[in-house]
Amino acid sequence: MATQGHMHGRIGESIKRKEDGRFLRGRGNYLDDVELPGMLHMAILRSPHAHALVKSVDTAAASAMPGVIAVVTGELMAQHKLAWMPTLSYDTQAVLATDKVRFQGQEVAAVVAETKYQAEDARNAIVVDYDVLPAVTSPQQAKEAGAPLIRDDKENQKDNHIYHWEAGDQETTKAAFAKADKVVRLHTFYPRCHPAPLETCGCIADVNGATGKATIYMTSQAPHAIRTVFALVTGLPEQNIRVISPDIGGGFGNKVPVYPGYVVATAASLLIGRPVKWVEDRTENLISTGYARDFHMTGDLALDKNGKMLALRVHLDSDNGAFFADAQPSKFKAGLFHIVTGSYDIPTAHITADGYYTNKAPGGVAYRCSFRVTEASYLIERLVTNAAIELGMDQAELRMKNFILPEQFPYHSATGWEYDSGDYPKAMNVALDKLGYDDLRKDVAARRKKGEITGIGVASFTEVVGAGHGAEFDILGLRMFDSAELRVHPTGKAMLRMGTKSQGQGHETTFAQIVTEELGIPAADVAVEEGDTDTAPYGLGTYASRSTPVAGAATAMVARKLRDKARKIASHLLEAAEEDLEWENGKFYVKGSPDRAKTIQEIAFAAYTNIPEGMEAGLEGVHYYDPPNMTYPFGTYAVVVDVDKGTGQVKVRRMVAVDDCGVRINPMIVEGQIHGGLTEGFGIAFMELITFDADGNCIGSNFMDYLLPTAWETPHFELGETVTPSPHHPLGAKGVGESATVGSPAAYVNAVIDALSPYGVTNIDMPVTSDKVWSALRGAGVNE
């Protein structure tokens, strides 16, 4: 008979993470831990200039250095038709420069040598003759008449404009603005920031000359998609390509794109016949791999005199860098920016966006974000707080007045999206209660009377995660379903293989818990494997909080398929009709006779030893899940700050975060995800900045310049929750991984703006550093 013990690890239990046993002991198996016999090492030479003609590349001295096996140039790659590669946004990107370099840090040549040090020494001996050109470092410069043409490699490209995109309804929006009592405008820049995973990107390419099989170990969040792209780019048969993503030390979107280093290492291994390892250093990662954001946004919110929102108009200019390589669904040029109407019932909206090439690294990756949702959420939440300040209303009250109400779901937004579910007032109330909002507002007023600068910021974000229904969502044409394959062995232990790839989110635990819930096998008995394209079913990978909404659903569905078969076997074993059987706690029993029961373990054994006549042996299956809609997690974050008048330093006194991600599979893991996201949001709001000087030199190429928050700076977080299940997800779960990074920057900045509002300050762009706050206070005449 099954006992509760058999079911250990069901949904809702905060069991410890199974993977932590090896991680905490330092026994993870990351890319750099992999050593293959005969392995060579590759180092990449990068451009010191942001924009320059490449006149010559002299490799003679480098080739003669000790240990050097090959020096690879753009010219050599061009001979193999590999000097350029397609990007995830249907553009092309240089693998190794042949004509020009277009950003500082661009790949120019590579050295393959016996050791890493030999490769790096020889790389430094390559001599490149550059003819430096003026650099373009912003969309504003990119669109100036006479601006240098960055993509002169592209036929028909006469300027630096990439795309124009629109959503919503221009006419109805215009009419609503004409009737408004109040229009609040915010111009804000969401600066370039970098996912900066602790482990940088890299690969080991091992092309076996005898079999023709290319095995590529790679720090990839999407191994299957990468395999398909490799097959298309190199012409190698897909079955001869095996991509293995070992343990990954953080990705946050940075490990989705295909980087030139992967292609060069694979080509080098193919030509040389030995495995080639390439691992970036920190600076290479920060200057050349997928950055995020870099959106210049202007938002206008139209309201009536009572604070009811009437319409929203937004224009944004996107800085896409030298190659349009945004990792986002093909159909959505500006990502999922449509969600910019947020949690509010705004009857009409019109959004326009223009993308530009600049002399910066490409990217536009969804850094802990669903394809530009973060920028959208930031804009609307900042606008709403500014509107409250301008109207002299309380920011929580203005939000309450305009929330989409629970009974309005499924809700059709003005930009054409169907929100699946939500209860925004409830999340807001839980957050305000936790904070003691009414008392705090009085406290703020009292402190201000004493001359203190203090404020409260609120953000009630809505997100859209779980990309996505295949009819709308694809990457390079590949529909964004995901998959799970479940095999139950005769002893009742199971193997779950998935198309996703954890980078630290705890998939080995949470997906095992879904099997426990659905099939009664304890989580400890379910091994979860991801990341090997030779063994895992095809899937689009892990980013944009899509694993639980899509692959989590696939897991539930495949477990249910197996439970249906288990019922048939139980009926045979118990000699009872299927419809007379009840399922509970991992066993089938005969209705009214709970002692006549078969556990899932007994049934699994029978699946291989004692099946009914005519039934296929075994207990295994696969499910490909194409979600009917996205899931819409949400929450309210509230922050209290104190600002030092003399230095401009901001101290976060309180941070309350109430999240609703539907049903929580493992509450402890969910809280861990939220802590991580709030920390990253804090870094983006106050510390992190990658900027460029007039020549296009990247400022922010190391952790002394690009400041990540440590435990020292990070505030204490007070978490709360509400649970509004997704109506279409088999478990009612929504994604959560990115919620806190999406929702929190606006809450932090709103708190600072609330604190500075008595001085007439309406905006400070992130990162809100002490010197910016100090300058704003001085500008407002505060001279202490």
Site residues for ligand CDP per CB under 6 A = 505-507, 510, 542, 545-548, 661-666, 669-670, 673, 733-737
Q: In the complex, what is the shortest distance from the CB of residue 659 to ligand CDP, in angstroms, rounded to a whole number?
A: 9
Helix (H) or strand (E) holding 288: helix 282-288
Q: In the complex, what is the shortest distance from the CB of residue 330 to ligand CDP, in angstroms, rounded to a whole number?
A: 20
The amino acid present at 401, given as its one-letter code, is K
| Choice between 406 and 672, CB closer to ligand CDP | 672
Q: In the complex, what is the shortest distance from the CB of residue 223 to ligand CDP, in angstroms, rounded to a whole number?
A: 14
- What are the structure tokens assigned to 354, written together? 């223009």
CA distance 106 to 1: 63
| N residues, the chain | 784
CA distance 522 to 492: 10
| Choice between 363 and 735, CB closer to ligand CDP | 735
Q: In the complex, what is the shortest distance from the CB of residue 528 to ligand CDP, in angstroms, rounded to a whole number?
A: 10
**Concatenated DSSP letters for 649-687?**
-EEEEEEEEEEE-BS-SSHHHHHHHHHHHHHHHHHHHHT
- 193 classed as catalytic: no
CA distance 589 to 580: 8
| Choice between 316 and 731, CB closer to ligand CDP | 731
Q: Are 97 and 53 in contact (CB under 8 A)?
A: no
Listed residue (379, 334, 408, 402) closest to 167, CA to CA = 334
| Choice between 10 and 192, CB closer to ligand CDP | 10
Strand boundaries in 92-235, DSSP class E: 92-94, 100-101, 107-113, 127-132, 161-168, 182-190, 202-207, 214-218
Number of separate helices (H) and strands (E) present in the chain: 19, 34
| Choice between 421 and 542, CB closer to ligand CDP | 542
CA distance 65 to 456: 62
CA distance 174 to 310: 11
Q: Is 316 strand, coil or helix?
A: strand
Query: Considering 104, 118, 141, 221, which one is annotated as catalytic?
Result: 221
Cis geometry, peptide bond prior to residue 468 (ω within 30 degrees of 0): yes
Listed residue (33, 414, 52, 83) closest to 248, CA to CA = 33
Q: In the complex, what is the shortest distance from the CB of residue 722 to ligand CDP, in angstroms, rounded to a whole number?
A: 12
Q: In the complex, what is the shortest distance from the CB of residue 634 to ligand CDP, in angstroms, rounded to a whole number?
A: 13
| Choice between 459 and 733, CB closer to ligand CDP | 733
Q: Are 597 and 428 in contact (CB under 8 A)?
A: no
Q: In the complex, what is the shortest distance from the CB of residue 656 to ligand CDP, in angstroms, rounded to a whole number?
A: 20
Q: Are 457 and 747 in contact (CB under 8 A)?
A: yes
- 201 classed as catalytic: no
667-686 and 739-756 are packed helices; what angle lies between their axes, rounded to 10 degrees? 40
| Choice between 53 and 663, CB closer to ligand CDP | 663
Q: In the complex, what is the shortest distance from the CB of residue 338 to ligand CDP, in angstroms, rounded to a whole number?
A: 20
CA distance 686 to 691: 15
**Concatenated DSSP letters for 341-367?**
GTTB--SEEEEEEEEE--SS------T
Residue carrying structure tokens 């991580």 = 676
Q: In the complex, what is the shortest distance from the CB of residue 11 to ligand CDP, in angstroms, rounded to a whole number?
A: 8
Q: Are 84 and 91 in contact (CB under 8 A)?
A: no
Q: In the complex, what is the shortest distance from the CB of residue 450 to ligand CDP, in angstroms, rounded to a whole number?
A: 43
Supply φ then ψ for residue 339, to 5 degrees.
-70, 5
Q: Are 741 and 368 in contact (CB under 8 A)?
A: yes
| Choice between 550 and 755, CB closer to ligand CDP | 550
| Choice between 385 and 548, CB closer to ligand CDP | 548
CA distance 263 to 257: 12
For the chain, the maximum distance between any two Cα atoms, rounded to a whole number of angstroms, is 89
- 368 classed as catalytic: yes
Q: Are 590 and 452 in contact (CB under 8 A)?
A: no
| Choice between 319 and 463, CB closer to ligand CDP | 463
Listed residue (616, 673, 662, 602) closest to 635, CA to CA = 662
Query: Considering 368, 399, 546, 563, which one is annotated as catalytic?
Result: 368
Strand boundaries in 383-525, DSSP class E: 411-412, 418-419, 453-462, 474-475, 478-479, 482-488, 494-498
| Choice between 130 and 419, CB closer to ligand CDP | 419
Helix (H) or strand (E) holding 123: helix 116-123
CA distance 324 to 293: 13
Query: Considering 193, 201, 369, 661, which one is annotated as catalytic?
Result: 369
Virtual torsion, Cα 761, 767, 770, 772, nearest 10 deg: -50
Q: In the complex, what is the shortest distance from the CB of residue 665 to ligand CDP, in angstroms, rounded to a whole number?
A: 3
Active-site amino acid positions: 221, 368-369, 738
